[in-house]
């Protein structure tokens, strides 16, 4: 029995589709696992009376994010909906469905980032309402603008400056937006009780360094799915992305080790700072450029977090604004610097556009967060009562503590 060329082509196409679907599914699972990293990083940082709340918030936020993105956000960003029969949806080995799952894990990172900033004094259901609107409207508005060409912004960048805004894996689109949304939420909430004593700032000691470290390790491993699998197909996979992610992570570790003076909290957040920053240009940079990007990010995190905690009334518990907001913005700019051929990069990127696109992302995040958290503050309030905060979110919200002690 002879095999026709069309049969061979069909078999190759099916194999390619199924391989791409599996590839992206594995990426989605790796990024989904990163949410456990967010959870344990927060659990290890907050005081013991708020550990249960940290765990519950992350998983509840994911559930609300999935609904918001399924029914609204994915349509806002890409114009796609799921109001079709299952046979239609599963065409091409269900690749588009898996792509939604992958993009959902990115979208759900927004409230996971915010959660670390607003820990220990935020009400539960008002925060979930904020999650619904930030994931359903604010984040996908900018996501679609950059990754789907909505509103002609990318076309205008190309026409005026010869290059689109480049953000391969979301330094600005995901982390920058999440970090700047978190800053607005943190400012609305105000400082935790007890942070100012006798006119001086007091820092609360992390409750569990091993949990904090576990969270950092889970995030670091999952990040290779976040970055490498942003190619979304096997054909587009690049070892350069993996290498640059590695070097940026190492740069963040070394810089935070030195600038943080051996502090375990800084050392375990250092690699995350580097990984946040390299997302945008990981497919363009030379590995030495990625190393430099990670080192700058590590220093930025240490010094900005220290300044916030000791000199201002901005009580960002996990330092998510410096880690995601500032290092994410730095990543967008760094792609325009180290992506240049003169510095060993692959080129095709404009520093001017990277600056403009980064500023646009920050603007969308801040304005969107002001609308969402401002409205919720006015209608229901965001903050626990003083007594509830004193007793801890675990007992006040969930009626249980993280230990079985009486």
Q: Please say if the pLDDT value at position 380 is more than 80.
A: yes
Report the alpha-carbon angle 132-136-140, nearest 5.
140
Q: Please say if the pLDDT value at position 198 is more than 80.
A: no
CA 291 to chain centre: 20
Q: Give tens-digit pLDDT for 100-146.
A: 999 999 999 999 999 999 999 999 999 999 999 999 999 999 999 99
Report the alpha-carbon angle 403-404-406, nearest 5.
110
Average the pLDDT over 5-19 and give the result: 77
pLDDT value of position 406: 47
Domains in the chain, please, with CATH?
Answer: 9-398 (1.10.3430.10)
Task: For residues 25 and 21, give the distance between their C-alpha atoms in angstroms, rounded to a whole number.
Answer: 6
Average the pLDDT over 260-279 and give the result: 96
Average the pLDDT over 173-178 and give the result: 98
C-alpha distances in angstroms, 395 versus 66, 205, 313, 400?
A: 27, 20, 26, 5
Q: Which of 192-196, 241-245, 322-326 has the lowest mean pLDDT?
A: 192-196
pTM (2 d.p.): 0.96
pLDDT value of position 5: 72
In eight-state DSSP terms, residue 191 is P
pLDDT value of position 404: 65
CA 107 to chain centre: 8
Q: Which of 48, 45, 54 is nearest to 212 (CA)?
A: 45
Task: Please tell me whether residue 207 adopts helix, strand or coil conformation.
Answer: coil
Q: Please say if the pLDDT value at position 215 is more than 90.
A: yes
pLDDT value of position 269: 98
DSSP symbols for 239-252: HHHHHHHHHHHHHH
Q: Please say if the pLDDT value at position 402 is more than 90.
A: no
- For 336, residues 6+ apart whose C-beta sits below 8 A from its C-beta are 166, 281, 349, 350, 351, 352, 353, 354, 355
Q: Which of 7-21, 35-49, 286-300, 316-330 has the lowest mean pLDDT?
A: 7-21
**Token digits for 168?**
């391969």
pLDDT band at 16, cuts 50/70/90? confident
What average pLDDT does the chain have?
95
pLDDT band at 1, cuts 50/70/90? low
Q: How many Cα atoms are found within 13 Å in the side-chain-facing hemisphere of 149?
A: 5
Residues of the chain above pLDDT 70, percent: 97
Q: Which of 191-195, 348-352, 382-386 has the lowest mean pLDDT?
A: 191-195
pLDDT band at 403, cuts 50/70/90? confident
pLDDT value of position 32: 98
pLDDT value of position 405: 60
- DSSP bridge partners of 201: 196
pLDDT band at 202, cuts 50/70/90? confident
pLDDT value of position 184: 98
Q: Which of 55, 127, 54, 50 is nearest to 390 (CA)?
A: 50
Helix (H) or strand (E) run with residue 29 in it: helix 5-45
pLDDT value of position 101: 98
């Amino acid at each position: 029995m002879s095999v026709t060329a069309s049969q061979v082509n069909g078999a190759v196409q099916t194999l390619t589709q199924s391989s791409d679907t599996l590839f992206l599914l594995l990426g989605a699972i790796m990024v989904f696992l990163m949410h456990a990293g967010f959870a344990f990083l927060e659990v290890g940082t907050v005081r013991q009376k708020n550990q249960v709340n940290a765990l519950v918030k992350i998983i509840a936020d994911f559930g609300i994010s999935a609904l918001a993105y399924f029914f609204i956000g994915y349509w806002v960003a890409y114009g796609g909906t799921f109001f079709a029969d299952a046979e239609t949806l599963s065409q091409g080995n269900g690749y588009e469905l898996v792509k939604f799952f992958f993009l959902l894990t990115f979208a759900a990172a927004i409230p996971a980032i915010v959660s670390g900033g607003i820990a220990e004094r935020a009400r539960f259901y008002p925060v979930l309402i904020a999650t619904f609107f930030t994931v359903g409207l604010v984040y996908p508005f900018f996501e679609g603008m950059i990754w789907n060409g909505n509103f002609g912004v990318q076309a205008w960048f190309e026409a005026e400056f010869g290059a689109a805004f480049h953000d391969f894996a979301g330094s600005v689109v995901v982390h920058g937006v999440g970090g700047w949304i978190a800053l607005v939420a943190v400012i609305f909430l105000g400082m935790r009780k007890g942070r100012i004593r006798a006119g001086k700032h007091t820092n609360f000691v992390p409750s569990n360094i091993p949990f904090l470290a576990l969270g950092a390790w889970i995030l670091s491993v999952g990040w290779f799915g976040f970055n490498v699998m942003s190619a979304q197909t096997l054909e587009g996979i690049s070892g350069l992305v993996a290498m640059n992610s590695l070097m940026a992570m190492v740069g963040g570790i070394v810089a935070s080790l030195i600038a943080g003076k051996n502090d375990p909290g800084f050392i375990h957040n250092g690699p995350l700072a580097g990984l946040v920053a390299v997302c945008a240009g990981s497919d363009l940079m030379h590995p030495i450029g990625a190393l430099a990007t990670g080192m700058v990010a590590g220093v930025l995190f240490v010094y900005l977090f220290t300044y916030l905690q000791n000199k201002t009334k901005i009580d960002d518990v996990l330092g998510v604004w410096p880690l995601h907001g500032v290092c994410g913005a730095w990543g967008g700019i760094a792609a325009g610097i180290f992506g240049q051929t003169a510095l060993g990069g692959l080129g095709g990127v404009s520093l001017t556009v990277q600056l403009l696109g980064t500023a646009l992302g920050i603007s969308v995040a801040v304005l969107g967060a002001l609308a969402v958290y401002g409205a919720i503050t006015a209608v229901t309030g965001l903050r626990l009562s003083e007594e509830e905060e004193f007793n801890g979110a675990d007992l006040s919200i969930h009626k249980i503590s993280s230990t079985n002690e009486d």
